[in-house]
Amino acid sequence: MTTILILGAGPAGAAVALGLRRMGYAVTLVSEWRRFAALEGVSQRVLEALRGAGFNHVLAGATLPSRRQVSWNGQQHAQNIEVLLDRPAFDRGLREDLRLAGVEVMEGKILKVQSSVDGHRVELDGNRMLKADFLVEARGRQAPASGKGLRGPETVSLLNRWQGAPGPTASAVESLEDGWAWMARRNDGQCYWQWTVDVASTGLPGKAQLLEFCRARRQVSDFAQAFFAGGHELELQLHARSSTAILASQVCGENWIRVGDAAMAVDPLSGNGIFQSLSSALQAPVVINTLLRNPERASLAQRFHQQRVEQLFLRFARIGRDFYADEQRWLDQPFWQARRQWPDAEVAHAEAGFATLRIERMPVLRDGFVDEAEVVITADQPLGIWHVLGVELAPLVRRLHDEPADQVLAELTLEQARAVRGWLLAQGFNPEP
């Protein structure tokens, strides 16, 4: 029997474990508990993705949705609905979902990983040793680097946590001359302020002075003072962590795969950390299944995962770049200069046009395996779209060049026709006669 070992029990590792269990694989997952308490702001889309992945216990501690306040480029407004997740409670929910799914979860510190074409040996604390045929690297940013990869401007986030007075749950984002801050307050008075800065240019003091350094920076912000409504900051704690955007050079081999932040870690400004982790993890079980049961398609499976991870990373990076570019007050400051131009000058959302659609053969997911099929390459989907509600788009697009749209769509069900019409309209093609 094939043994599969997953390193890391965050959303990515857990999603892969659940997906593999549904396919009938036995899975062992190794992880340490999170070492610090934190809140994480997520969108409704993330909640839906978590439910779709099979997580039923992780959302029990989620706050009621609230509109996030934004102070950016000198303007204030309310934007996007945000739900706050308590990460320790979230992690406990993940483990409960894994237990109920029959995933063996081992608590332990990973000391050493030795990999070869014949398998993997993982050394844990307590003189424990595990062997596996297939390895899933899901330890997030703590995963050892795999080659040089692609890195954004070096960035660090300084998280301050304290107990304040109870009040309404809320979250906010503020741009600052030397970075930006995300802040959140729960109704029980737990307060969080995370300042994201440039490593090279900020001139951070030593570790012993960091807490007071952050406090002084926070207190000169009228926006932050109004958000937290003053009061004492009891049990003030600090946690510093890297938030540099990183894309691993290689994310899949014949007997291993990287998912979540171990494959690509995005700038926290995107607010899509959990979503992007799930995006790479949800496809991984099918990639793994192909590598193990259809090894003749190994190169196709690796290509599929590599391309999808790279494209997702660049999309989030460009969205972040454009948001940084919206801040016009500090154009000469190193923090903003570096981030308004990275990773490239490509547009985040290319203009659609039916005449620009192309049909190519690309890797797709079919019946639990990576396969190859004709897909339609669009401005926003450079890896192609295979079908909409079961309707293959490549033959449909070919027919639309020669046949009336109403004739082509008449062969579809009412629901399919409605979905295809919406897709065609998004590509700049009006299917109405």
Question: pLDDT digits over 217-272, tens only?
Answer: 998 999 999 999 877 889 999 999 999 999 999 999 999 999 999 999 988 886 66
Band of pLDDT at residue 338, cut at 50, 70 and 90 = very high
Higher pLDDT, 310 or 201: 310
Confidence of residue 112 (pLDDT cuts 50, 70, 90): very high
pLDDT of residue 270: 63
CA distance 155 to 406: 53
Tokens of 227: 């958000």
Give the contacts of 425 (CB within 8 A, at least 6 positions apart). Answer: 431
Average pLDDT over residues 327-339: 96
Q: Identify the helix (H) or strand (E) that includes residue 414.
A: helix 414-426
Q: Is the pLDDT of residue 276 over 70?
A: yes
Closest CA to 88 of 111, 60, 110: 60
Architecture of domain 4-41+85-149+245-335: 3-Layer(bba) Sandwich (3.50)
Confidence label for 430 from pLDDT (cuts 50, 70 and 90): confident
* DSSP conformation class of 355: G
The pLDDT tens digits of the residues spanning 52-86 come to: 888 888 877 777 788 889 999 999 998 788 888 88
- Least confident interval from 46-60, 136-150, 308-322: 46-60
- Contact of 18 with 302, CB cutoff 8 Å: no
Encode pLDDT of 175-228 as tens digits. 999 999 999 998 889 999 999 999 988 888 988 899 999 999 998 999 999 999
Contacts of 108 (CB under 8 A, 6+ apart): 30, 31, 32, 124, 125, 126, 128
What pLDDT score does 60 carry? 77
> What length is written for the chain?
433
Q: For the chain, give the mean pLDDT.
A: 91
**Band of residue 99 on the pLDDT scale cut at 50, 70, 90:** very high
Which tokens go with 69?
A: 């306040």
DSSP E strands, 295-368: 358-366
Q: Is 180 exposed, middle or buried (0-12, 13-18, 19+ CB in 10 A)?
A: buried
Q: Which residue has the higher pLDDT, 53 or 369?
A: 369
Predicted confidence at residue 277, as pLDDT, reads 83
Residue-wise pLDDT for 33-44, tens only, equals 776 777 888 888
Tens-digit pLDDT profile for residues 373-408: 999 999 889 999 999 999 999 999 999 999 999 999
Phi, psi of 198 (to 5 degrees): -85, 130
364: helix, strand or coil: strand
Least Cα distance to 238 among 156, 158, 163 occurs for 158
Structure confidence at residue 336 (pLDDT) = 97
Sequence ranges of the domains in the chain: 4-41+85-149+245-335, 354-426
Burial (CB count within 10 angstroms: exposed 0-12, middle 13-18, buried 19+), residue 280:
buried
Q: What tokens appear for 201 in the block?
A: 């240019």
Output the CA torsion sign for 291, 392, 421, 381: positive
Tokens of 401: 């060049």
pTM flag (> 0.75): yes
Q: Mean per-residue pLDDT for 156-180?
A: 93
pLDDT at 48: 85
pLDDT value, residue 85? 85
